[in-house]
Amino acid sequence: MKIKYSLTSLWMLCLMMSSCQESFNDNKEDNISKKSDSVVPTAEQIDFLGITDPNHLSAASKRALKWSTDLGNDWFFEYKIEDLKGDLAYEEGVVRRDPSAMIKHNGKYYVWYSKSVGPTQGFAGDIENEKVFPWDRCDIWYATSEDGWTWKEEGIAVARGEKGSYDDRSVFTTEIMEYDGIYYLCYQTVKSPYNVRVKNQVGLAWSNSPDGPWTKSEEPILSPADNGKWEGDEDNRFKVEKKGDFDSHKVHDPCIIPFNGKFYLYYKGEQMGEEITFGGRQIRHGVAIADNPKGPYVKSPYNPISNSGHEICVWKYNGGIASLITTDGPEKNTVQWAPDGINFEIKSVIKGAPHAIGLNRTLETDEDPIGILKWGLTHEYQDYNYQYIRRFSTWKIGYHVGKGEEGGK
């Protein structure tokens, strides 16, 4: 039997189906809105957050309702960068970069940094005898200052190793830690030849005095993961059969922090076949933990512990670890904090943020989450060949005003 439909009946059927679908969508949205509501907003929260209807909460509003009740700007800052005086002022033909944190000893500030001379030729020439990066063919030098402005270069702290050693090509990007009267410098190392696929490592040196002499570890204390696989024999770091862990190519920017009775070595990982994602390099941070400052260091099973970043900049605050994440990735230019030193959450977004920060460890305090950032050191590119160390200072974002206004908040 054939069923005949009039145009009117078809129109009514479509209308009913549309109405049912709208009702279903409304119910679906209501269910989505109510499904994960764990907090009923107060009148104060509704007013402060500008919520239109507390019965229809977006994902953004739900996140906002979980914010701290003392929401403020304690983790936010702005900054400026100024030239230093003395031996750390810009010098033509000399690279000084990646300043360590500063410590104070006998009334003087101390800082360590990477130093090399001459321009960079890159990978196109004779890589055995030329310089492929500004941080190639570096030694670790140090300088002192009484006021943090005028610096005196004191000489080499840690030199490159003998031919054939794991650090014979370059030692660079160092960090200082003082513990129980012993001073420790951790740093990056490269062994010759410095080709594109070279896998750098992390070394360690220690001394009874910040002026040395320094004793170097015979073996590296940290190496890249060994679970990636290159594609072919061409010296091309982007061609891989398997990428491996986030640190399968390089371990960079080490920094050791005494934390919870152990030693946390934070570092930047570079992956074999690294890609450009979210408009930046595919860079993430990791941590390795030891019972002794000299190791052995065991990588955390929770690695990577960041989605973004570049140079490591970490400090202790409120029983946990704070981290300034810069340059690369979807969470770049943020300050993050982890109560356990591993599970970090974003606390603020910083416009730009200084690169390669050398923290002033003498300012570390639990009274202010960014008190340690009041002033410190950073490096800046004069051009690709030459970088130099400068000083940064910060201030809290307190208020804003429009043109002609007398005040604001």
Q: What is the pLDDT of residues 156-176, one digit of tens each?
A: 999 999 999 999 999 999 999
The confidence score (pLDDT) of residue 125 equals 86
251-265 average pLDDT score: 98
Q: What does the pLDDT read at residue 399? A: 76
Can you list the positions of beta strands (E) in 42-181? 78-83, 85-86, 94-97, 103-105, 108-117, 139-145, 150-158, 170-179
Q: Does residue 210 have a pLDDT over 90?
A: yes
Angle in degrees, CA 44, 48, 54, rounded to 5: 70
Q: Could you give the CA distance from residue 384 to residue 131 in angstroms, rounded to a whole number?
A: 13
C-alpha–C-alpha distance, residues 408 and 399, integer Å:
6
Question: Confidence band (pLDDT; 50, 70, 90) for 228?
Answer: very high
Q: Indicate the pairing of strand 250-259 with strand 280-281.
A: unpaired
Can you read off the two tokens belonging to residue 372? Answer: 């340690």
Coil vs helix vs strand at 87: coil
Q: Is 244 exposed, middle or buried (0-12, 13-18, 19+ CB in 10 A)?
A: middle
Instruction: Please check the confidence at residue 354 and state whether its pLDDT lies above 60.
Output: yes
Q: What's the pLDDT score for residue 277?
A: 86
What is the token pair recorded at 34?
């109510």
The confidence score (pLDDT) of residue 393 equals 98
Q: Among 8-17, 244-253, 289-298, which stretch is predicted with the lowest mean pLDDT?
A: 8-17
What kind of fold does domain 78-395 have according to CATH?
A: Tachylectin-2; Chain A (2.115.10)
**pLDDT number for residue 71:** 76
Q: How far is CA 236 from the centre of its chain?
A: 26
Residue 124 CA: distances (Å) to CA of 120, 199, 234, 322: 11, 19, 14, 40
Instruction: Say if residues 150 and 82 touch (Cβ distance below 8 Å).
Output: no
- Whether the bond between 296 and the residue before it is cis, its omega within 30 degrees of 0, is yes
CA distance 156 to 211: 10
Q: Does residue 5 surpass a pLDDT of 80?
A: no
Of 19-33, 166-180, 222-236, 270-284, the poorest mean pLDDT is in 19-33
Q: What is the pLDDT of residue 17?
A: 46
Q: What is the DSSP letter of 50?
A: T
Give the number of other Cβ atoms within 10 Å of residue 9's Cβ.
10
Reduced to 3 states, what is the DSSP secondary structure of residue 304?
coil
N-terminal to C-terminal alpha carbon distance within the chain = 77
Cα–Cα distance between 247 and 28 in angstroms, integer?
A: 43
* Average pLDDT of span 20-37: 45
Dihedral of the alpha carbons of 293, 289, 307, 35, in degrees to the nearest 10: -140
The mean pLDDT of 99-117, rounded to a whole number, is 98
**How high is the pLDDT of residue 243?**
97
Q: Are 340 and 328 in contact (CB under 8 A)?
A: no
* Res 316 pLDDT > 90: yes
Confidence of residue 407 (pLDDT cuts 50, 70, 90): low
Res 409: pLDDT: 46
Residue 371 has pLDDT above 70, yes or no: yes
Contact 293, 184 (CB under 8 A): yes
Per-residue DSSP letter, 383 = S
For residues 11-37, average pLDDT: 44
pLDDT number for residue 67 = 85
Say which residue the tokens 């950032």 belong to.
373
pLDDT at 204: 98
Give the integer Cα–Cα distance in Å for 294 and 391. 31
Residue 38 pLDDT: 62
Spatial separation of the C-alpha atoms in residues 340 and 319, rounded to whole Å = 8
Higher pLDDT among residues 179 and 276, named by residue: 179
Listed residue (272, 280, 92, 255) closest to 188, CA to CA: 255
> How confident is the model over 126-140, as pLDDT tens digits?
999 999 999 999 999
Could you give the CA distance from residue 374 to residue 361 in angstroms, rounded to a whole number?
A: 11
Residue ranges of domains in the chain: 24-67, 78-395
Rounded to whole angstroms, the Cα distance separating 10 from 43 reads 48
Contacts of 232 (CB under 8 A, 6+ apart): 239
pLDDT > 90 fraction of the chain, expressed in percent and rounded: 81
Note whether 116 and 134 are within 8 A (CB): yes
Q: Name the nearest CA neighbour of 172 among 197, 136, 142.
A: 136
pLDDT value, residue 8: 41
Report CA-CA distances (Å) from 344 to 76, 271, 282, 320: 17, 21, 18, 10
**Weakest-pLDDT range from 64-68, 96-100, 148-152:** 64-68
Q: What is the pLDDT of residue 19?
A: 47
Residues 6+ apart with CB under 8 A from 65: 39, 41, 45, 49, 57
Output the average pLDDT for the chain: 90
Q: What are the phi and psi torsion angles at 235 (to 5°)?
A: -80, 75
